């Protein structure tokens, strides 16, 4: 190997509690299946050897004095977990770069996190065109490096380091407190923040999940969620390392390839987020669906109805959990939890639901005769952890750190309510709160109801501005490619849902074949909010009889009492009302396409 320009250290392996130690343990493990992907199967030893080669290369490529930050702009290819392991061995940091970002936003992510090396593949090179970043300089001496893993020169670059051993060369001591990951938040309320995850926190999270689910050396973790997101690394890759399990990769999530992949790679455990479970349930049923090696899935937002359907069809138990990507608060699932509840506070967590303005604890929801929570609206608040927490900060964002940890508590930014038996129920993101006629509503609570409507595959609820003040409720309903909207049936369904608050019925309903999703398979609420009711798809609405009183009352028709298509003339008249009250600038979307007309409805 050539001498390193960053003066790498050679020192004994650190003590317990580091990802580096777990990677080094693979060096002495000859078992097959350490890393499985399309056309590839590496033993545990070969996986550790490949990581060691990349760690040594990293030490030679990093500019002197630079932060040892490696931007990884890859799909779930074998190179991704190899660079995660290499960073752990070298005491460096992986920055998960989101390939759905573009232009100035992508450049901002890379420059803000001070990436001194960028690892990518040819499929993503076009994303970098025109970006002015030092790290994009390729070849020769310079302040940055760009490595393209599927170009011939990459293998040649690695060849001199093939004999490196794990821990032989580092750029910083791989201690538990050493920064291991910078993983970006969703950015729904501003520019994405880079969350710091140390080696110690990653090991702790992996160990906790491995112990909780009795994961072991014979398990194979199927990573189908994107590795640039914390879910796949913290809940999938880290538990595999701590348990000594194998790792199987899907380049991208695919509902149609899910079961063939699982069977071919012998996967026993997987993680999910967002609507992945709904996509799997939407695939055509087969008699052999339950003939698969999976025993457990762990994730969020599947919902109790879909979890039961998934278990009945595929024979796989889904366990829902809640944990902020910042590590500041966690709720633990309990099999005795009532339907819709996430769980109770995790051990060591002093969780509470509080008024975000005053910090006072919200009253608890009661349970009605039918078992459903009642008095929910008054119970909703922000989930906080008032005890010790694992939040390690954001990268160079002290204002965001202070907002997250104000008054000595960790504020999650998520809305919950707690019932009288102590179970926590998710109610949405804090920015998904709506205020209709002076009443606060939580989008997730309404969504959970709408998702049970016959013919509705999934639902998203969000605020659109009211013509006079506050918000109105809009819902996007996914009905499938062949579906249609039954306005009378929908109204009847709403009338029968006594758990809905009086203002919670949607004023506007957008009908789509499927909901728009982000790269992490979460509903793209920002796109839905931007379009509002000025979107190309059909929109149904309950018209305002009197714009001065848009809610229920003597002069205003209550939402949910009857829906009709939002026609071109309706839209023009509605926009005129916004203009009259000086609120036209709040209305998103754009003009409807020429010839727009609503989809046919079902009567009956």
Q: Which residue has the tokens 């799997």?
A: 280
Task: Grade residue 192 by pLDDT with cuts at 50, 70 and 90.
Answer: confident
Residues 406 and 367 in one domain: yes
What CATH code is carried by the domain that includes residue 365?
Answer: 2.30.38.10
Per-residue pLDDT at 215: 97
Query: Which residue(s) pair with 318 in the sheet?
Result: 297
Residues 309 and 368 in one domain: no
Average pLDDT estimate for 114-119: 96
- What separation in angstroms does the CA of 275 have from each of 233, 260, 457? 19, 20, 10
| Both tokens assigned to 105 | 């936003």
What CATH code is carried by the domain that includes residue 480?
Answer: 3.30.300.30
Most confident by average pLDDT, 310-324, 462-476, 520-534: 310-324
Residues 71 and 191 in one domain: yes
The answer to whether position 72 is within a domain reads yes
Per-residue pLDDT at 134: 83
Residues 400 and 482 in one domain: no
Helix axes 199-212, 19-26, angle to 10 degrees: 70
**Quick check: 213 and 298 in contact, CB under 8 A?**
yes
| Both tokens assigned to 120 | 């990518």
Beta-carbon count within 10 A of 577 CB: 16
Between residues 136 and 511, the one the model is more confident about: 511
Looking at 361, 396, 431, which one is the last position of a domain? 431
**Quick check: 115 and 83 in contact, CB under 8 A?**
no
Residues 291 and 375 in one domain: no
Most confident by average pLDDT, 194-203, 327-336, 523-532: 194-203
Residues 314 and 408 in one domain: no
Query: Which residue(s) pair with 460 in the sheet?
Result: 476
The answer to whether position 325 is within a domain reads no
**Quick check: 249 and 36 in contact, CB under 8 A?**
yes
The answer to whether position 602 is within a domain reads no
List, in order, residues 6 or more apart from 138 with CB less than 8 Å away: 145, 146
At 183, give phi and psi (nearest 5°). Answer: -115, 130
Residues 244 and 294 in one domain: yes
Per-residue pLDDT at 320: 85
pLDDT score of 144 more than 70: no
Evaluate the CA torsion angle 267, 269, 274, 278 in order and state its sign. positive
Per-residue pLDDT at 380: 83
Residue 75, judged by CB atoms within 10 A of its CB (0-12, 13-18, 19+), counts as middle
Looking at 431, 454, 476, which one is the last position of a domain? 431
The answer to whether position 603 is within a domain reads no
What CATH code is carried by the domain that includes residue 295?
Answer: 3.40.50.12780
**pLDDT tens, position by position, 565-575:** 999 999 999 99
Per-residue pLDDT at 112: 96
pLDDT score of 553 more than 50: no
As a whole number of angstroms, the distance between CA 138 and CA 148 comes to 10
| Both tokens assigned to 431 | 């920015």
Task: Grade residue 5 by pLDDT with cuts at 50, 70 and 90.
Answer: very low
Closest listed residue to residue 346, CA positions, set 303, 307, 301, 385: 385
Per-residue pLDDT at 280: 92
pLDDT score of 595 more than 50: no
**Quick check: 270 and 236 in contact, CB under 8 A?**
yes
The answer to whether position 105 is within a domain reads yes
Looking at 304, 320, 336, which one is the last position of a domain? 320
**For residue 462, what are the domain limits?**
442-586
DSSP for 235-271 reads IIIHHHHHHT-EEEE-SS--HHHHHHHHHHHT--EEE
Q: DSSP secondary-structure letter at 46?
A: H
Residues 202 and 90 in one domain: yes
The answer to whether position 97 is within a domain reads yes
pLDDT score of 340 more than 90: no
Q: DSSP secondary-structure letter at 585?
A: G
Number of domains in the chain: 3
Most confident by average pLDDT, 441-450, 485-494, 516-525: 485-494
The answer to whether position 204 is within a domain reads yes
In the chain, % of residues over pLDDT 70: 86
As a whole number of angstroms, the distance between CA 28 and CA 416 comes to 46
Q: Return the SS3 of 203.
A: helix
Q: How does the average pLDDT of the chain come out, rounded? A: 85
In the chain, % of residues over pLDDT 90: 56
Residues 257 and 379 in one domain: no
| Both tokens assigned to 532 | 């509002």
Closest listed residue to residue 443, CA positions, set 367, 504, 531: 504
pLDDT score of 96 more than 90: yes
Per-residue pLDDT at 190: 55
List, in order, residues 6 or more apart from 278 with CB less than 8 Å away: 302, 306, 457, 458
**pLDDT tens, position by position, 348-370:** 889 999 998 899 999 999 888 87
| Both tokens assigned to 36 | 């499985």
As a whole number of angstroms, the distance between CA 276 and CA 279 comes to 5
The answer to whether position 6 is within a domain reads no
Residues 386 and 273 in one domain: no
pLDDT score of 557 more than 70: no
Residues 214 and 103 in one domain: yes
Residues 377 and 406 in one domain: yes
pLDDT score of 8 more than 90: no
Q: Which residue has the tokens 């050897």?
A: 49
């Amino acid at each position: 190997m050539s001498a390193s320009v960053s003066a790498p250290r050679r020192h004994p392996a650190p003590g317990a509690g580091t990802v580096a130690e777990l990677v080094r343990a693979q060096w002495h493990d000859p078992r097959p299946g350490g890393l499985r992907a399309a056309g590839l199967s590496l033993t545990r030893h070969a996986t550790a050897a490949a990581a060691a080669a990349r760690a040594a290369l990293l030490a030679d490529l990093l500019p002197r004095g630079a932060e040892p930050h490696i931007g990884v702009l890859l799909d779930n290819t074998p190179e991704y977990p190899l660079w995660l392991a290499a960073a752990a061995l070298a005491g460096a940091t992986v920055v998960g770069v989101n390939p759905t970002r573009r232009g100035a936003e992508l450049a901002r992510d890379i420059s803000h996190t001070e990436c001194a090396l960028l690892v990518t593949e040819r499929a993503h090179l076009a994303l970098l065109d025109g970006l002015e970043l030092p790290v994009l300089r390729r070849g020769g001496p310079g302040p940055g490096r760009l490595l393209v893993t599927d170009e011939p020169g990459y293998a040649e670059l690695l060849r001199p380091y093939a004999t490196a051993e794990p821990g032989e060369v580092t750029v910083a001591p791989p201690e538990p407190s050493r920064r291991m990951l910078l993983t970006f938040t969703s950015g729904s309320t501003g520019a994405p923040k880079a969350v710091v995850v140390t080696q110690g926190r990653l090991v702790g999270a992996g160990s906790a999940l491995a112990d909780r689910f009795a994961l072991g050396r014979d398990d194979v973790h199927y990573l189908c969620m994107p590795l640039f997101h914390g879910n796949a690394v913290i809940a999938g890759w880290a538990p595999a390392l701590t348990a000594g399990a194998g790792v199987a990769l899907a380049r991208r999530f695919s509902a149609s390839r899910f079961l063939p992949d699982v069977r071919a790679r012998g996967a026993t455990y997987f993680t999910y987020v967002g609507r992945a479970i709904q996509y799997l349930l939407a695939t055509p049923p087969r008699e052999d669906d339950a003939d698969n090696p999976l025993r457990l899935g762990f994730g969020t937002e599947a919902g109790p109805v879909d979890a039961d359907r998934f278990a009945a069809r595929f024979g796989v138990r889904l366990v829902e959990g809640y944990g902020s990507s910042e590590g500041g608060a966690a709720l633990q699932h309990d099999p005795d939890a009532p339907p819709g509840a996430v769980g109770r506070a995790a051990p060591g967590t002093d969780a509470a639901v509080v008024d975000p303005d005053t910090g006072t604890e919200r009253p608890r929801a009661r349970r009605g005769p039918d078992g459903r929570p009642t008095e929910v609206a008054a119970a909703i608040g922000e989930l906080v952890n008032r005890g010790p927490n694992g939040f390690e900060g954001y990268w160079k964002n002290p204002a965001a750190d202070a907002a997250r940890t104000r008054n000595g508590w960790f504020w999650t930014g998520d809305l919950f309510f707690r019932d009288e038996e102590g179970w926590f129920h998710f109610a949405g993101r804090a920015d998904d709160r709506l205020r209709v006629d002076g009443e606060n509503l939580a989008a997730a609570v309404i969504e959970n109801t709408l998702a049970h409507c016959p013919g509705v595959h999934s639902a998203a609820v969000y605020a659109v501005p009211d013509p006079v003040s506050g918000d109105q409720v809009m819902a996007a309903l996914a009905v499938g490619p062949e579906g249609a909207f039954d306005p009378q049936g929908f109204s009847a369904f709403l009338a029968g849902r006594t758990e809905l608050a009086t203002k919670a019925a949607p004023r506007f309903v957008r009908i789509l074949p499927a909901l728009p999703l982000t790269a992490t398979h979460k509903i793209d609420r920002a796109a839905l909010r931007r379009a509002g009711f000025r979107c190309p798809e059909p929109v149904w609405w309950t018209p305002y009889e009197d714009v001065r009183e848009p809610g229920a009352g003597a002069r205003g028709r209550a939402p949910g009492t009857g829906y009709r298509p939002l026609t071109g003339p309706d839209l023009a008249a509605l926009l005129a009302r916004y203009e009259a009250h000086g609120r036209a600038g709040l209305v998103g979307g754009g003009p409807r396409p020429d010839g727009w007309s609503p989809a046919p409805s079902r009567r009956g």
